[in-house]
Copies of this chain bind each other. A is one copy, B any other.
Amino acid sequence: MTTVGVGMVGHAFMGRAHSQAWRSVGPFFGPPLTPVMAALAGRSAERAGAAARELGWASVETDWKELLRRDDVQLVDICTPGDGHAEIAVAALDAGKHVLCEKPLANSVAEAEAMVAAAERARARGVRSMVGFNYRRVPAVALARDLVAEGRIGAVRHVRAQYLQDWLTDPESPFTWRMDRDRAGSGALGDIGAHIIDTAQFITGHAVTGVSALMDTFVHERPMPGGGTGQVTVDDAALFIGRTDGGALASFEATRVATGRKNALRIEVSGSSGALSFDLESLNELWFHDATEDAATAGFRRIVVTEPVHPYAGHWWPPGHALGYEHTFTHQMADLLTAIADGADPSPSFADGLQVQRVLDAVQRSASSGGGWAAVEGTPVGSV
């Protein structure tokens, strides 16, 4: 049995999710490469040590650069905040380590471009890279992509994508680094807006080419945990409409103040002969309308995406048994390990991540201009 040693950087929310996936991918997917959870890197030896014990990592490093020097680490899994992605990923790739990097790929287009360049250099040497847009691997989302690719909805004309959360509705919700522009880059836009841009481009196979955007902040000061208040310098919400290189009209909304919506990543795609609809709050369901059916019985079908014939689902339980949020990460690890073993490029690539970054950049330019049109700069790239 061939193994691949994994070194993970970061052990917060994403580190926990990735750890569960590294533990689960073996039993359920029997991948061609067996991951070995070799080392966890974190700044504090104490906290990283506790996390390693809890999450199942064999050793600890307090400097992520040590991972690059270890022979038992062949893959670096980057779970840090976005401002660390570029440095770690470029160094790891240049050191010959495969890289899985959390989304969004970077905090700027320039960083993302440097990462794509590093990924291209590495690829020439058989070293692989992947960005963690995990929602591509919700079975219902993967099925949606397949149906579009098979032509089941015809030419895509409309995309309506929303990512609605409500955790900042309450003005007493405390200030964190996520509300500070210097550290987070943006608010709802980069955090959840990035997801709907990627999901929309993934399902349709189109790239967004330009946007008109509005962003706003509804609560400008929030209490600091230690007392006093912090100034919110990022967006609570971002709205934009745009066009795609495939001729579709698209609308997007990312907001953390959509009262009552907990995690509603919703996407509806209308084509010339069918349509699809998805909501992450009901993640085991895909709605599909086939306009070629008899008019008397046509309608949106609620497909329960838990059957052996559906993407990923057959690896888990018998038909009809629901999956959850965490399974998307296990799917991601399975596909990554398979690609490495096959000498193939995994998807989504860093180039896919750059394309999302360019759309985010256009959204910010448009919003800064007061809602004017902003083209997405750069040639559409990647394996979208």
Give the interface of A toward B (CB within 8 A).
Answer: 13, 16-17, 19-20, 23-24, 26-27, 30, 54-56, 143, 147, 152-153, 157-158, 160, 162, 165-167, 169-171, 210-214, 216, 218, 237, 239-243, 247, 249, 251, 253, 255, 257-263, 270-275, 280-285, 287-291, 295-304, 306-307, 309-310, 316-327, 366, 369-373
Cα(A16)–Cα(B30), bound, Å: 14
Given contacts A288-B299, A324-B327, 20 further A-B contacts (CB under 8 A): A27-B54, A27-B55, A167-B320, A212-B371, A214-B243, A239-B249, A239-B251, A251-B251, A251-B253, A257-B272, A259-B273, A259-B274, A282-B282, A295-B309, A298-B301, A299-B301, A299-B303, A300-B301, A321-B326, A324-B326
Cα(A251)–Cα(B212), bound, Å: 12
Cα(A177)–Cα(B319), bound, Å: 18
Please determine whether A296 and B56 come into contact, CB atoms closer than 8 angstroms: no
Cα(A13)–Cα(B298), bound, Å: 25
Cα(A253)–Cα(B263), bound, Å: 22
Please determine whether A281 and B284 come into contact, CB atoms closer than 8 angstroms: yes
User: Contact partner of A317 among B167, B240, B326, CB < 8 A?
Assistant: B326
Please determine whether A297 and B291 come into contact, CB atoms closer than 8 angstroms: no
- Listed A/B pairs (8) with beta-carbon separation below 8 Å: A13-B317, A19-B27, A153-B259, A167-B319, A169-B272, A260-B300, A371-B372, A371-B373
User: Contact partner of A240 among B54, B169, B241, B253, CB < 8 A?
Assistant: B241
Closest to A274 in B: B259
Please determine whether B16 and A20 come into contact, CB atoms closer than 8 angstroms: no
Please determine whether A281 and B263 come into contact, CB atoms closer than 8 angstroms: no
Closest to A54 in B: B27
Residues of B within 8 A of A326 (CB): 316-317, 321, 324
Closest to A170 in B: B291
Closest to A1 in B: B53
Residues of B within 8 A of A255 (CB): 158, 270
Please determine whether B241 and A239 come into contact, CB atoms closer than 8 angstroms: yes
User: Contact partner of A157 among B19, B210, B257, B325, CB < 8 A?
Assistant: B257
Please determine whether A325 and B317 come into contact, CB atoms closer than 8 angstroms: yes
Cα(A298)–Cα(B24), bound, Å: 29
User: Contact partner of A296 among B26, B143, B263, CB < 8 A?
Assistant: B143
Please determine whether B320 and A323 come into contact, CB atoms closer than 8 angstroms: no
Residues of B within 8 A of A320 (CB): 165, 167, 262-263, 281
Cα(A147)–Cα(B193), bound, Å: 30
Please determine whether B270 and A259 come into contact, CB atoms closer than 8 angstroms: yes
Residues of B within 8 A of A170 (CB): 291
Closest to A16 in B: B27
